Amino acid sequence: MRTFTTAVQNIINNDQFKYFFLIKLSLNNTYYFTSHWNDITYDSQTWISDGGMFEVDSPKFSSILDREAYRVVITDLVDQIGDEFRTGVVGKPIQVFVGFLDANNDPLLGTGDIINIYSGFVDTPTVENTWETKLASIEGTSPMSDLDSINLFMVSKDGMDQRSSTDTSFDKVFEDSEINIKWGKK
């Protein structure tokens, strides 16, 4: 169960709470974006408010095992993120945090006040240019994305030798050999 600081819990208990996002993209360069209207200094970094954050998926909680991916969209008018995509970003880390505003609309930035809602890796980067705006969309992998992976393993002496020449566990896979197995207790 996730626990919150007292300040965050008090804000969550109020049904009219306000929040902001912090996005860390560790691509070929590291980018720090926030949806807050001002730059935010958190964790010794300045999170840029005018960095073009356009859309962030809401956190999804699921009681079943699924492959739901996470999506972040950034306005990319100067083609900075698009250039990153062209040099290759698949597999690079992405983190999304949520923070809350107090009654004075000031961000809570204390230890434990910022909540990590997504950590994953870039899976599908795309750029959409509509002539009015250019959007860089990053789809992050689901924590369950490896459920679709297929790994081949050759079950033979030669197959094991490709992994480890000292492992003899498959040396007799295709040979006839007789062994006696004792079942039960003596």
Nearest to 37 by CA among 25, 50, 46: 50
Whether residue 1 is contained in a domain is answered as no
Same domain for 32 and 105, yes or no, is: yes
Give how far the C-alpha of residue 17 lies from the chain's centroid of Cα atoms, to the nearest Å.
25
Taking the C-alpha atoms of residue 76 and residue 90, their distance in angstroms, rounded to an integer, is 18
Give how far the C-alpha of residue 64 lies from the chain's centroid of Cα atoms, to the nearest Å.
19
Whether residue 93 is contained in a domain is answered as yes
**Cα angle 16, 19, 22; round to 5:** 170
Q: Look at residue 111 in the predicted model and tell me its pLDDT.
A: 81
Taking the C-alpha atoms of residue 72 and residue 23, their distance in angstroms, rounded to an integer, is 9
Same domain for 157 and 77, yes or no, is: no
Same domain for 81 and 164, yes or no, is: no
Same domain for 154 and 81, yes or no, is: no
Same domain for 37 and 111, yes or no, is: yes
Q: Please give the chain's pLDDT, 186 residues, in tens.
A: 678 888 888 888 887 788 899 999 999 999 999 989 999 999 999 999 886 767 777 655 555 555 567 788 888 877 888 899 999 999 899 999 999 998 888 999 988 899 988 888 898 899 988 878 888 888 887 655 555 555 666 667 777 777 778 888 777 776 655 666 676 665
Whether residue 170 is contained in a domain is answered as yes
- The answer to whether 135 touches 146, Cβ cutoff 8 Å, is no
Handedness of CA 115, 118, 119, 125 (dihedral sign): negative
Same domain for 164 and 127, yes or no, is: no
What residues pair up with 95 in beta bridges, in sequence order?
24, 119
Listed in sequence order, the residues at least 6 apart from 119 whose beta carbon sits closer than 8 Å to its beta carbon are 93, 94, 95, 96
Taking the C-alpha atoms of residue 96 and residue 70, their distance in angstroms, rounded to an integer, is 10
CA separation, residue 153 to residues 131, 163, 166 (Å): 49, 10, 17
- Number of domains present in the structure of the chain: 2
Could you tell me the residue range of the domain that residue 53 belongs to? 6-143
- The answer to whether 156 touches 173, Cβ cutoff 8 Å, is yes
Taking the C-alpha atoms of residue 83 and residue 60, their distance in angstroms, rounded to an integer, is 30
